A and B are shown apart, each in its own frame.
Chain A
């Protein structure tokens, strides 16, 4: 079966494309991208004016909660949220119950993902058994089962020795170690960024140094091991300095930031909304500005959501008793468009590098380009479409977002995974002619 996307504005940083072009899909793969491609029996979709056609977005850091915490999210609801957020693939962290530290859990996640038939799912295995920081997990087995990286996310890799061994061992299999950088002793029982706002509100602080120290450690160890380390959800300028210094001396270090750390600051703590409680916490203005600068100058490699669904009841408690984390899959694109692209901080081209090209490269997974032969994972974006975020309308099973009611400029119009149109935004102008072609979930 052939599908021809006609008349869109194609942005593919890998191939240097940024202009009007047609995209021809044959089966599950991209056949070619070019101008005036003839229909030749293909099913033709006229891409509405103003829409962008980009390589499918990849969120390299999500929590799907299955197995074990299905009341928060399942692989099916999480991947439905993913495609509604423009993501054709997600990499899911191993802090499930049980922890994804052996093949059976990986296989279950992959089976659920196939049954759901929405976004692609790339499981991330645990660094250590039970993510307890004691013994290495069965990393080769995890790799064979389908894991693309290892991480003890939710917790830092506990000791420098374990981190070194993990880097060396996983490096043999080409798997990056993704670390949640945090010195647990310095974080102690902190619940918010250690700064004026937490201090005045009487919330115990998490100092910026708790993160930066661990990033320094990881960069040093990646250098020793000669293996790739990826810094998850980086939030402070001290960490950015360490990453920059590492990159300059040739260490294989990459890093990601979340949209919420790029949009909000710790000032949002006023009012004690538990939907601004995340780990790492929202930092101060200088940190936020430094991260945005890092995005623009290439020091930061990826934007990832750290999609962390929590049930309503779990967040409707005292601030210090609430779990850390917010959902992010369905709000990321609008936030990035509005606050970064339209604000002139990054270009669309850079946005696609951060949200598609680089995640694919770091995780060594297909995608991140519309080159011929690549999977037909395509996201259609409407940069000027007004998007009002409604927590109640999210496809995620959890609604824990601080952005409820925000109106932003830009959003997702449609999502194609493996040549199948799996999501059409009914609110996108011009979407009506696509709706009939949508493929129901398998």
Chain B
């Protein structure tokens, strides 16, 4: 299979040069990425999991924050598309010598990469890089802002199980305040017509939650009741500098997804988690490992979705159109 042979893109392409967030994507663009990911997923089932689509292209993975699954997922996606890849983590970069983000990126840009995949602890950092550089930028998570490929892989997984997203009740429960996964999902699921219910302690609900297009509650039972999809979010202890809740034991008692609470959802509801999980804090192991859990499928689908994004940003859709 080659890029030219991909059956999905047709004359469709992304309008922007970068993927900085779900904000700004149209419904058509989101569906284009999901449709392209469908074709990409097939590659993973082949004996030789590689296509020449991005041969000769250079992708830099610039990770200023610890990450295992997202970085690995991007690297696998890039390698399957035959891109030349370079992964930089802050611990070994010039940042530890005091170099600014802008200088780091300008130096990398001087080596003419095609795509920069970037994770950073500051919201908007990917926007800054997109402004100053020439490469396509893929936001792999910026601060508390967005994590667009996670939301896309979540949507892809939901669609695989439910056939559609429109009309579903999706419950998102957990540390919404610190969650870029929530912010991206709220926009994406709303754009595709899902009914999003969110739940968190009042201390972990983002300010102005009423304007996010979601229904918010502080009772998990209410959010989960009748849900088609239950998406649990990690308690991000490393970002907690305030008094958000007394302790993890009390958190689990009030907000954790126990088997009893999971039963409130529809009988065929799927259970999702972007990982890494805190077992016994936001989710019980019986639920995480249970029959309705699609948590590892999310990981597998992440590769296909990221392949689709890289392919489309590198001009895949346009090549098809030509």
B123 nearest CB neighbor, chain A only = A202
Chain A proximity mask over B119-155: 1 for CB below 8 Å, otherwise 0? 0101111011000000000000011111000000000
Is B246 in the interface zone, CB < 8 Å from A?
A: no
Asked if B163 CB lies within 8 Å of chain A CBs, one says: no
The reply to whether B207 and A199 form a contact with Cβ atoms under 8 Å apart is yes
A residues less than 8 Å from B242 (CB atoms): 188
A225 interface residue per 8 A CB criterion = no
Contacts of A189 in B (CB 8 A): 241
Q: How far is the CA of A202 from the CA of B179 in the complex (A)?
A: 9
Residues of B within 8 A of A317 (CB): 100-102, 128
Given A272-B123, A316-B102, A318-B120, A195-B145 contact (CB < 8 Å): no
- CB contact under 8 A between A316 and B208, given known A202-B183, A203-B144, A272-B123: no
A195 and B207 CA atoms in complex are apart in Å by 6
Interface string of B201-213 (1 = CB under 8 A from A): 0000011110110
Q: Is A16 an interface residue (CB 8 A)?
A: no
- Cβ < 8 Å to A, chain B residues 180-214: 180, 183, 206-209, 211-212
Verify B122–A321 contact, CB threshold 8 A: yes
CB of B143 within 8 A of CB of A196, answer: no
Complex CA–CA separation, A204 to B207 (angstroms) = 10
B123 contact set on A, CB distance < 8 A? 201-203, 272, 319-320
CB neighbours of A200 from chain B (8 A): 23, 183, 206, 208, 211-212
* Residue from the list B128, B146, B180, B206 in contact with A318, Cβ < 8 A: B128
Known contacts being A189-B241, A318-B124, is A199 close to B206, with CB within 8 Å?
A: yes
Contact of A201 among B145, B209, B211 (CB under 8 A): B145
Which of A189, A196, A202 lies at the interface centre, i.e. has the most chain B CB atoms within 10 A of its CB?
Answer: A202
Asked if A41 lies at the interface with its beta carbon under 8 angstroms from chain B, I say no
The CA of A319 and the CA of B142, in the complex, are separated in Å by 11
| A436: Cβ under 8 A from any B Cβ | no
Q: Separation in Å of the B242 CB from the closest CB of chain A?
A: 7
Q: Is the CB of B142 within 8 A of A202?
A: yes
Q: Are A202 and B146 in contact (CB under 8 A)?
A: yes
A204 adjacent to B144 (CB under 8 Å): yes
A284 to B146, CA, bound (A): 23
In the complex, what residues of A have CB within 8 A of residue B143's CB?
A: 202-203, 320
Number of interface residues of B (CB under 8 A): 26
Question: In whole angstroms, what is the CA distance A189 to B146 when docked?
Answer: 19
- Please give, as numbers and ranges, the residues of chain A lying within 8 Å of B122 by CB-CB distance: 318-321
Tell me whether A271 is interfacial, beta carbon within 8 Å.
yes
A212 to B4, CA, bound (A): 61
Q: Could you say which residues of chain B place their CB within 8 Å of the CB of A313?
A: 100
Q: Are B100 and A316 in contact (CB under 8 A)?
A: yes
**In contact, A202 and B128 (Cβ under 8 angstroms):** no
A419 at the interface (CB under 8 A from B): no
Query: In the complex, A312 Cα to B207 Cα: how many Å?
Result: 31
Whether A201 touches B207, Cβ cut-off 8 Å, given contacts A188-B241, A317-B100, is no
Distance in angstroms from B141 CB to nearest chain A CB is 10
Proximity bits, A177-210, B CB within 8 Å = 1, else 0: 0000000000011000011101111111101000
Q: What string of 1s and 0s marks CB contacts (under 8 Å) between B95-123 and chain A?
A: 00000111000000000000000001011
The smallest beta-carbon distance between B166 and chain A, in angstroms, is 23
| In the complex, chain A residues 381-412 whose Cβ is within 8 Å of any chain B Cβ | none
Note all chain A residues with C-beta closer than 8 A to B207: 194-196, 198-199, 205, 207
Minimum CB–CB distance from A210 to chain B (whole Å) comes to 13
Nearest to B179 among chain A residues (CB) is: A202
Residue in A195, A196, A199, A319 whose CB lies within 8 Å of B124:
A319
Q: CA A201 – CA B211 in complex, angstroms? A: 13
The interface residues of chain A lying within 8 Å CB-to-CB of B212 are 199-200
Closest CB of chain B to A271's CB: distance in Å? 7
Shortest Cβ gap from A41 to chain B (Å): 60
- Bound CA span A207–B242, Å: 15
* Binary B-proximity of A300-342 (CB < 8 A = 1, otherwise 0): 0000000000000100111111000000000000000000000
Instruction: Return chain A residues, CB-CB under 8 Å to B142.
Output: 202
* Minimum Cβ distance to chain A for residue B99 (Å): 11
Of B123, B128, B145, the most chain A CB neighbours within 10 A belong to B123
* Residue of chain A at shortest CB distance from B212: A200
Q: Inside 8 A of A196's CB, which chain B residues have their CB?
A: 207-208, 211
Most chain B CB within a 10 A radius of its CB, from A188, A189, A204: A204
Contacts of B120 in A (CB 8 A): 318
Closest to B127 in A: A272
Q: How far is the CB of A27 from chain B (nearest CB, A)?
A: 52
Q: Do residues A201 and B124 form an inter-chain contact, with CB atoms below 8 A?
A: yes
For the complex, what is the distance from the CA of A207 to the CA of B208, rounded to whole Å? Answer: 12
Name the A residues within 8 Å of B146 (CB-CB).
Answer: 202
CB pair A318–B144 under 8 Å, yes or no, is no
Q: CA separation between A200 and B211, bound complex, in Å?
A: 9
Bound-state Cα–Cα, A328 to B77, Å: 49
Q: Which of B223-246 contact A (CB under 8 A)?
A: 241-242
CB B104 to nearest CB in A, in angstroms, measures: 11
Closest B residue, CB atoms, query A207: B207
CB distance from A76 to the nearest CB of B (A): 29
Instruction: Report the minimal beta-carbon distance from A187 to chain B, rounded to whole angstroms.
Output: 12
Which of B122, B127, B242 counts the most chain A CB atoms within 10 A? B122
List chain B residues, Cβ under 8 A from A316.
100, 102
- Alpha-carbon separation in the docked complex, A198 to B211 (Å): 12
A343–B289 Cα gap in the complex (Å)? 63
Minimal Cβ-Cβ distance residue in B for A192: B123
CB closest chain-A residue, reference B208: A196
Q: CA of A320 to CA of B123 in the docked complex: distance in angstroms? A: 8
Q: Which residues A67-87 have CB closer than 8 A to chain B? A: none
- CB-CB under 8 A from A204, the residues of chain B are 144
Report the minimal beta-carbon distance from B284 to chain A, rounded to whole angstroms: 29
- Shortest CB distance A190–B (Å): 10
Instruction: List residues of A (198-232) whose CB comes within 8 Å of B's CBs.
Output: 198-205, 207
**Cα–Cα, bound, A145→B180 (Å):** 53
- How distant is B109 from chain A, measured CB to nearest CB, in Å? 15
Q: Is the CB of B101 within 8 A of A318?
A: yes
Q: Is the CB of B127 within 8 A of A271?
A: yes
Q: How far is the CA of A320 from the CA of B206 in the complex (A)?
A: 18
Q: Please list 16 pairs of residues, one from A and one from B, whose beta carbons are closer than 8 Å in the complex, sorted by A's number.
A: A194-B207, A198-B207, A200-B23, A200-B208, A202-B145, A202-B146, A203-B124, A203-B145, A272-B127, A316-B100, A318-B122, A318-B128, A319-B122, A319-B128, A320-B122, A320-B123
Taking Cβ atoms with an 8 Å cutoff, the residues of A that contact B are 188-189, 194-196, 198-205, 207, 271-272, 313, 316-321
Q: A195-B208, A202-B143 are in contact. List 8 more A-B contacts (CB 8 A).
A: A196-B207, A199-B207, A200-B212, A202-B142, A203-B124, A203-B143, A272-B124, A321-B122
Report which B residues bind A (CB closer than 8 A): 23, 100-102, 120, 122-125, 127-128, 142-146, 180, 183, 206-209, 211-212, 241-242
> Would you list the 10 A-B pairs with minimal beta carbon distance, nearest first?
A202-B145, A272-B124, A202-B144, A318-B122, A202-B123, A196-B208, A199-B206, A196-B211, A199-B207, A319-B124
